[in-house]
Structure 1
Amino acid sequence: MAIDNRSAGPLVLGLDFGTESCRAALIDATGTILAAAAGTYATRYPRSGWAEQDPRDWWAAAGQATRRAMQEGGVMPGAVVGLACDATSLTLVAADRDGSPLRPAIMWMDVRAVDQARRADELDADTRRCSGGGTMPASAEWYPFKAAWLKENEPETYHQAAYLVDAVDWITYRLTGRWTTNINTAAHRMYYDRDRGGWPVDLYQAVGVGDVFAKLPEQVLDLGVQVGELTSAAAEDLGLAPGLPVAEGAIDAWSGQVGLNVLAPGTMALITGSSHVFTGLTDRPVTGPGFLGAFTDSVLPGSYTLEGGQSSTGSVLKWFKDNFARDVVAEADRSGQNAYDLLTERARALPPGADGVVVNEYFQGNRTPYCDGQARGMIWGLSLHHGPEHVFRAIQEGVCYGTEHIRRVIATAGHQIDEIVACGGVSRSRPWMQMHADVLGVPITLTREGEATVLGAGIFAATGAGLYGSVPEAAAAMVHPAETIEPDAQRHEQYRFFVDRYIEAFPQMRESMHALAAHIGSAEHPAPSD
């Protein structure tokens, strides 16, 4: 159905570059998504723990999605007054001076840089204060370690790269022709801290990439700030009018936090999809074992952000569906139903704890509370009594257990969580959202627009275009609560036992997992024969 542009008023475009697709959404000043479309791209997994994408595929998908959204909405280019993007992070792009990628992007979930990250563990705890107050290992997902891996393993590419940036900043360059670094990526994934003067040069030197600053844009911009205008070339690719204001964007999870209007202490955002991110703001720099932060100014100037995350959540459920539930997928195709809904229905009658099956969902490593790139998934408690529905249910529950583990470590550090606001793929499953509320024992609010991540990009775009004076003002006007899911007290008590067992399991298996990872790594890189 075509949009009546006269009644809709000015529109902004949000571009959300997720793990599997780019979603383009046309959003009005009230936060209503009036039209949306997606373009997909592939991820390649060359080795265990590796993940790569071609940035050119992102740009092609953005053009497809934007043109389709404009066409389906019946929107003329002149109705769009601004745009912004969000993307996965830390997704490393090595580019020459004109932005052409020199190799596939090293994805956010890629943990090949474990050895480089270990070098940071030898530094003093204050240098690593954002990693659990200095108690957690450095994450192989973060910028300096991926940069160091590239320098050591592909030195020609490293030295040829004029820019080594996160996906968000590469896309912003493609939109505007200007190289910038967004404060969100800089603070969350690059150790940048305005309270302490900016870049921690000593840390980068210790890791082996003290020269990488020459490959970083000089400007570090706050979210929603106008970066520049849409270039003629980008406008032609996207089917838009040149000269549109382009605002600074963010990592997808924190775009989701803004799109949920989680901008005050006491409330946490739960952004779900292939992974989970659990994040919220504080007015002071809270740190502690098992979570990340506090990150200075990363969402709003003058505030601090706490972060917990699970590297594999929805992606584990997809892995199960694609590999072990092909009969259900076929049935869903025949009946026109959703395969996940059919699997959920089959598992609905199972009691809390899936009849004793427990899944630790670390299929692509553990982000928090262990920050362990060599962690891998576990399915345990199996017997001949159990069937596919038990494993499916246990994966759902294991994801919830991981979120509850993060909530516990944040609470132990003294940060009280009174409400959770959720969005993303998991939020579309009411039973799974109820399970999250039951396991965590905290109310979960859903907003009117479930696509909060792309809405967050729209909020940045509306701010950069001058429709609102600030990101909080735009979020207050564009985000609207829809319903709150209350936890079931009885099920919450039943789940406590299983959460405790889930938490106990990984430390007992850690040493064996690391030995296995080392063995597989040596098999992939055998010593040369004489």
Structure 2
Amino acid sequence: MTAVNEPVALGLDFGTESVRAVLVDRNGRELAVCESAYRHGQITDTLPTSGAVLPTHFALQNPADWIESAAEATRNAIERSGIDVDRIVGIGVDFTSCTMLPTCVDGTPLCELDRFRQTPLAWPKLWKHHGAIEQTERMNRIAKERNEPFMDRYGGTIGLEWFFPKLLETIDKAPDVAEAAEVWVEAGDWFVWQLVGCDAADLPRSTCQAGYKALWSADSGYASDQYFAAVDARLAEAAREKMPGRMLSPGQSAGPLCGELADRLGLPAGIAVAAATIDAHSAVPGVGEAEPGTLVMVMGTSSCHMLNAIEGKPVDGVAGIVEGGILPGLFGYETGQAAVGDAFAWLLKLLNLDSFEQLGKHAIALPAGAEGVMCLDWMNGCRTPLMDGAVKGAFSGLTLATTPAHMYRALLEASAFGVRWIVDVLREGGIPVQRFVASGGLPHHNPAIVQVYADVLGSEIEVHPSEQGPAIGAAVLGMIAAGESKSGFASVADAARAMAGVPESEKKIVKPNLDDQASYHELYRRYRNLAEAIRTL
């Protein structure tokens, strides 16, 4: 098969601010990458329909933006690549999670109805929406009182950013919206639903999204009706009556692309569409990793660190352990940090600086430990291992001699200490962590962070050459959905190696500065002490 007629897959990567479309052939050639920003971005301050001020901790999006931006990015990618669209055999979708929304039975988001345009909780709640603090506490308390077995899969804690706390928040605070909702759905599943145009009864729900964010397992389904009823009878009713659909693993075909969305995207109808996956999880096949023991660090506004293992063991503080959740035949462990790129951008704004270029140079020139300045980077709460969105960040050791470079160096080190804590939690739980791969835009745009991570971990870190790890992973899943007869691949692992693997001679490896190991061992101990002190406060 020649390059001009090799099959191509489209990967659509829905991030916090934009969607990326990547076209990749079966040999891993990136034919085009195009990005389109959401017109409304993150809706965090005011509602676009009325200008009403949103409550603290709210983070919403406009579902129309997802369609418009996907169409623009896809059409631009096709034009830039110059390929015949008939070569595109599959579409894969990854999405931020848990981003979720209430809809009518035909898929119309409630926020698009005149009745609910001015009601914030009728809009999709972005992954970083933290309005469900009280509801999360209630769900955790009752789950622990009842000794619910599903808690073992989530390190003993239901996350603030997850599906059912957000649903319960709507029940409590906007009961008219909750009552009107006919379907509750993850945004990634909603978009795939639009692509294939099926009835709600056949809505393709991702086992990845449900397993990590919605208390679902292949063995027992969602959490029990009795548990939900103990929390709130209306929550139990919603779980029973308002979550139709069929469960599909990432890479399974959700159906053919329908005519309406084919026209919007500039594609032929009938192309295979894969079930959705979570953006961070998509990055694992997106960097060609198909073996256990490699921590894939997907670094962006927040970071998710994904690990495959042969065994599934309960690990306190780990946000999800799902069999086949990332790749078939392995147990996928999800961990993460709630603010990484967001925290760096916040500091830059706070210091009234325009760029990291000079700041980074001065920060890296400082010795390990930033001359006594230490940071706790919980500016958006703590995911792993505390699973607590209410904790706050801090700086300590500030003096009149402290410079912006000291604060930036301390923030970089705090982020690295957070990763080391995650690795310690996994290893102490008996889960091997042997290699590190960094993916996403942040490692390429901010190489200082990768060096500090390597120094703190005392380990080499491979930086994958593509900045589009999740999008490439989505394309891999789209290729698999097309079937072996069209793609030539029998498994996700085969497709991942062929489409995203990097030859050994071409790998970019960041090596640790071993001279700082003793210093970082002591600094990490102090970081953990600071974390305990702030957590206690």
One of 324, 337, 343 as aligned partner of 1:316: 343
Structure 1 residue 117 corresponds to structure 2 residue 111? no
Give 1:198 deviation, angstroms: 5.1
One of 133, 149, 152 as aligned partner of 1:126: 149
Paired residue for 1:211? 237
Q: How does 1:75-224 map to 2 (within 5 A)?
A: 75-102=83-110, 103-122=122-141, 123=143, 124=147, 126-132=149-155, 134=156, 137-178=157-198, 179-196=203-220, 199-208=223-232, 209-213=235-239, 214-224=241-251
Give 1:169 deviation, angstroms: 0.3
Structure 2 residue identity aligned to 1:292? A
Q: 2: distance between equivalents of 1:120 and 1:262?
A: 35
Q: 1: distance between equivalents of 2:230 and 2:497?
A: 43
One of 373, 395, 398 as aligned partner of 1:379: 395
Structure 2 residue matching 1:105: 3-state secondary structure: coil
Q: 1: distance between equivalents of 2:5 and 2:347?
A: 42
Paired residue for 2:306? 279
Give 1:402 deviation, angstroms: 0.8
Give 1:8 deviation, angstroms: 6.2
Do the aligned partners of 1:91 and 1:167 also contact (CA within 8 Å) in 2?
Answer: yes
Structure 2 residue matching 1:241: 3-state secondary structure: coil
Structure 1 residue matching 2:304: 3-state secondary structure: strand
Alpha-carbon RMSD across the aligned residues, in angstroms, is 1.8
Structure 2 residue matching 1:233: 3-state secondary structure: helix
Paired residue for 1:478? 499
One of 500, 513, 533 as aligned partner of 1:488: 513
Change in 2 beyond 3 A, CA 1:497/1:472: same
1:37-81 CA-to-partner distances (Å, cap 9, x unmatched) read: 111121122333221111111211111111111222223422322
Paired residue for 2:442? 426
Q: How does 1:342-361 map to 2 (within 5 A)?
A: 342-361=358-377
1:74-120 CA-to-partner distances (Å, cap 9, x unmatched) read: 23422322111100000111111222221321111122112111223
Question: Any unmatched runs of 5+ in structure 1?
Answer: 330-338, 513-530
1:119-162 CA-to-partner distances (Å, cap 9, x unmatched) read: 23232163311232x2xx42111111111111111111112112
One of 70, 78, 81 as aligned partner of 1:62: 70
Q: 2: distance between equivalents of 1:6 and 1:299?
A: 30
Do the aligned partners of 2:159 and 2:319 also contact (CA within 8 Å) in 1?
Answer: no
1:238-294 CA-to-partner distances (Å, cap 9, x unmatched) read: 121111111112000000122123332221111110111112112221112222332
Paired residue for 1:438? 455
Change in 2 beyond 3 A, CA 1:51/1:355: same
Q: 1: distance between equivalents of 2:423 and 2:372?
A: 23
Structure 2 residue identity aligned to 1:505? L
Structure 1 residue 464 corresponds to structure 2 residue 476? no
Change in 2 beyond 3 A, CA 1:8/1:442: farther
Q: 2: distance between equivalents of 1:57 and 1:371?
A: 30
Change in 2 beyond 3 A, CA 1:322/1:70: farther
Q: 2: distance between equivalents of 1:24 and 1:279?
A: 22
Q: 1: distance between equivalents of 2:205 and 2:244?
A: 6
Paired residue for 1:524? none
Structure 1 residue matching 2:153: 3-state secondary structure: coil
Paired residue for 1:503? 528
Change in 2 beyond 3 A, CA 1:300/1:195: farther
Paired residue for 2:118? none
Q: How does 1:288-299 map to 2 (within 5 A)?
A: 288-299=315-326
Paired residue for 2:407? 391
Give 1:458 deviation, angstroms: 0.5
Mean Cα displacement is larger for which, 441-450 or 377-386? Answer: 441-450
- Aligned-pair identity (%): 30
Structure 2 residue identity aligned to 1:130? R
Q: 2: distance between equivalents of 1:464 and 1:190?
A: 24
Do the aligned partners of 2:289 and 2:501 also contact (CA within 8 Å) in 1?
Answer: no
Do the aligned partners of 2:273 and 2:478 also contact (CA within 8 Å) in 1?
Answer: yes
Structure 1 residue matching 2:160: 3-state secondary structure: coil
Do the aligned partners of 1:264 and 1:280 also contact (CA within 8 Å) in 2?
Answer: no
Structure 1 residue 341 corresponds to structure 2 residue 365? no
Q: 1: distance between equivalents of 2:306 and 2:414?
A: 19
Structure 2 residue identity aligned to 1:73? S
TM-score by length of 2: 0.88
Question: Any unmatched runs of 5+ in structure 2?
Answer: 45-53, 111-121
Q: 2: distance between equivalents of 1:402 and 1:269?
A: 15
Length, aligned pairs only: 494
Q: 1: distance between equivalents of 2:231 and 2:136?
A: 8
Paired residue for 1:35? 32
Do the aligned partners of 1:131 and 1:292 also contact (CA within 8 Å) in 2?
Answer: yes
One of 7, 11, 27 as aligned partner of 1:14: 11
Structure 1 residue identity aligned to 2:534? M
Do the aligned partners of 1:111 and 1:365 also contact (CA within 8 Å) in 2?
Answer: no
Mean Cα displacement is larger for which, 81-90 or 55-64? Answer: 55-64
Do the aligned partners of 1:16 and 1:453 also contact (CA within 8 Å) in 2?
Answer: yes
Structure 2 residue identity aligned to 1:159? E
TM-score by length of 1: 0.89
Structure 1 residue matching 2:219: 3-state secondary structure: helix
Structure 2 residue identity aligned to 1:253? A
Do the aligned partners of 2:323 and 2:330 also contact (CA within 8 Å) in 1?
Answer: yes
Paired residue for 2:116? none
Do the aligned partners of 1:144 and 1:207 also contact (CA within 8 Å) in 2?
Answer: no
Mean Cα displacement is larger for which, 259-268 or 20-29? Answer: 259-268
Do the aligned partners of 2:292 and 2:330 also contact (CA within 8 Å) in 1?
Answer: no
Paired residue for 2:57? 49
Paired residue for 1:235? 262
Structure 2 residue identity aligned to 1:109? K
Structure 1 residue identity aligned to 2:42? T
Structure 2 residue matching 1:211: 3-state secondary structure: helix
Q: 1: distance between equivalents of 2:273 and 2:148?
A: 38
Structure 1 residue matching 2:90: 3-state secondary structure: strand
Do the aligned partners of 1:290 and 1:410 also contact (CA within 8 Å) in 2?
Answer: no
1:15-46 CA-to-partner distances (Å, cap 9, x unmatched) read: 00011110011111112221111111211223
1:340-385 CA-to-partner distances (Å, cap 9, x unmatched) read: 3333123221111112222211111111111111112212221111
Q: 2: distance between equivalents of 1:287 and 1:109?
A: 25
Do the aligned partners of 1:114 and 1:139 also contact (CA within 8 Å) in 2?
Answer: no
Q: 1: distance between equivalents of 2:5 and 2:339?
A: 39
Q: 1: distance between equivalents of 2:494 and 2:377?
A: 38
Do the aligned partners of 1:40 and 1:61 also contact (CA within 8 Å) in 2?
Answer: yes
Give 1:510 deviation, angstroms: 2.6
Structure 1 residue matching 2:320: 3-state secondary structure: strand
